[in-house]
Amino acid sequence: MRVWALNPPADHGVKQVREGRCMQRGGAWTTIWTPLSMAYCASMARAEGHEAFLNDCIVEDLDFVDVTRRAAELKPDLVVMNAVTPSFDSDLTTVEAVKNGWPGAFVAVIGIHATAIPKDAFDRAKRLDAVIRGEPELTVKELLKAFSDKTPIEGIPGLALMRNGEIMLTPERVPVENLDELPWPAYDLIQHRLYLMPYTGNPFLLVATGRGCPHPCVFCADHTYYGKKLRLRTPKALVDELEYYGKQFGIREFLFWSEGFTLSPPRAKAVAREIIARGLDIEWVCNSRVDDVDPELLGLFKQAGCKIIGFGVESGVQDMLDAMKKGTTVEQIRQAISWAKDAGLETAAHCMLGFPGETRETIGKTVEFVRSLRLDFAQFYCAVPFPGCDLYDWAQEEGWIATDDYRKYEQNQSALNVPGLSSEDVEAARSKAYRKFYLRPSMIGNHLGRLTSLRTAKVFGRMVKEFVSWV
């Protein structure tokens, strides 16, 4: 069998990151992430003895005509493709492009949106064969076995199928319990030079450290895809993978991909100690809740090569944190960031504006709070009712949805009219927040001080251009 993992073309020139809960244009972090889910699907196919191919249309600058041409060349038996909410309409156009090139391809789409509302996918792509609901690897494995054995697929867990004009949901897929059993992503199939870490301009890779999150944050749709049970890779298996990429590809910079790398602080410390024990010369970025860190952990991170730690700050107002069901406090936010800076780490804050209950006053307090923290970076997102999260259902019930145009369901735009704040109000407040945070002498000096060569200056120029498209 021939399997084609496909990250669709850019939507009207907007280059989207499509990975689990993260659905934003590349300008958000001035880079495009390596297609982790696609690489996992390709590696699973190869592990089962099949031939695998991978195209990331975003970085390879492939359009729908190129997709049709490539489909005709590959003649794939199975195509697994990504789709995310902000580019959902465009992404589903990919199905037709594939079928026009090779009508015999079985095309399956993955992602949170299609998992949450399969009908949206089938409505937009009449020739779509299946939605893979939830994490895709085991479903891909079983689809390929069914195709090889010529047996029905209706009993395979984790699918949505169109049958006799109705959507049929097969049994729920039980997620992979032991993540160490998954074959490593087929990163030999991507062009490493096209995925560059901000500032350094060096190639980097996403590396999965775990899946699932038990926390009930109202705005997060991740549980729709990976579930609420926390599943973690063992330190040895994770560091084996990091070491392999250094030896095989010469890559030493990584983004640790998970819902929260520190959700199990003992395991996070064990990973850091494993890296230190092996003497790996690497740099990495991770994310964290503010209530999962302590000085010992952050000190170990620094020794192990952690460069930046991003915290889910969300708001500087306790009432807003409580409304979001974040389960953290304003004091924990300040303490965690202070500890991280004391450990010598660079810090980033992820903040949300326009959540129900927000006012101009609470937005102002959040911005001033964030400005008072010891931060190197800050992201200000609009609260987005992504299908699959509790906020989506709540906003539907209350009539707060401002538009049905999914292109507005991106965190640099607002799709909500909440009481007292219109979507336009939130977008204006977000733009102002960025200006107030970054256009300060201390912050300008912070970032210009990183430009130590002509090469880094050129990289920075590209970053600024991309970041402006996000702000």
Summarize pLDDT for 166-208 with one digit per residue, the tens: 999 999 999 999 999 999 999 999 999 999 999 999 999 999 9
pLDDT at 470: 86
Burial of 22 (0-12, 13-18, 19+ CB in 10 A): middle
Both structure tokens of 198: 């901000």
Both structure tokens of 37: 């889910």
DSSP H helix total and E strand total for the chain: 18, 17
**Site of tokens 């689809």:** 143
Taking only the tens of pLDDT, the chain with its 471 residues reads 999 999 999 999 999 999 998 999 998 888 999 999 999 999 999 999 999 999 999 999 999 999 999 999 999 999 999 999 999 999 999 999 999 999 999 999 999 999 999 999 999 999 999 999 999 999 999 999 999 999 999 999 999 999 999 999 999 999 999 999 999 999 999 999 999 999 999 999 999 999 999 999 999 999 999 999 999 999 999 999 999 999 999 999 999 999 999 999 999 999 999 999 999 999 999 999 999 999 999 999 999 999 999 999 999 999 999 999 999 999 999 999 999 999 999 999 999 999 999 999 999 999 999 999 999 999 999 999 999 999 999 999 999 999 999 999 999 999 999 999 999 999 999 999 999 999 999 999 998 898 888 888 888 888 888 888 888
Give 393-396 contacts, CB < 8 A, sequence gap 24+.
Answer: 394/218, 394/356, 395/356
- Cβ neighbour number for residue 240 with a 10 Å cutoff: 15
Nearest to 102 by CA among 94, 110, 90, 111: 94
How distant, in Å, are the alpha carbons of 46, 71, 124, 376, 427 from that of 49? 5, 21, 33, 46, 49
Give 13-19 contacts, CB < 8 A, sequence gap 24+.
Answer: 14/86, 14/87, 15/58, 15/59, 16/58, 16/84, 16/86, 16/87, 18/82, 18/83, 18/84, 18/87, 18/91, 18/111, 19/206, 19/257
- Do residues 42 and 52 make contact, with C-beta atoms less than 8 angstroms apart? yes
CA pair distance 454, 443, nearest whole angstrom: 21
pLDDT at 314: 98
- Do residues 197 and 459 make contact, with C-beta atoms less than 8 angstroms apart? no
- Do residues 142 and 156 make contact, with C-beta atoms less than 8 angstroms apart? yes
Collapsing DSSP states into helix, strand and coil, what is residue 61?
coil
Nearest to 354 by CA among 407, 391, 396, 398: 391
CA pair distance 233, 245, nearest whole angstrom: 17
pLDDT at 43: 98
How distant, in Å, are the alpha carbons of 28, 434, 457 from that of 468? 9, 11, 17
Collapsing DSSP states into helix, strand and coil, what is residue 129?
coil
Question: If you ran DSSP here, which 8-state letter would residue 56 be given?
Answer: E
CA pair distance 98, 68, nearest whole angstrom: 5
Collapsing DSSP states into helix, strand and coil, what is residue 296?
helix
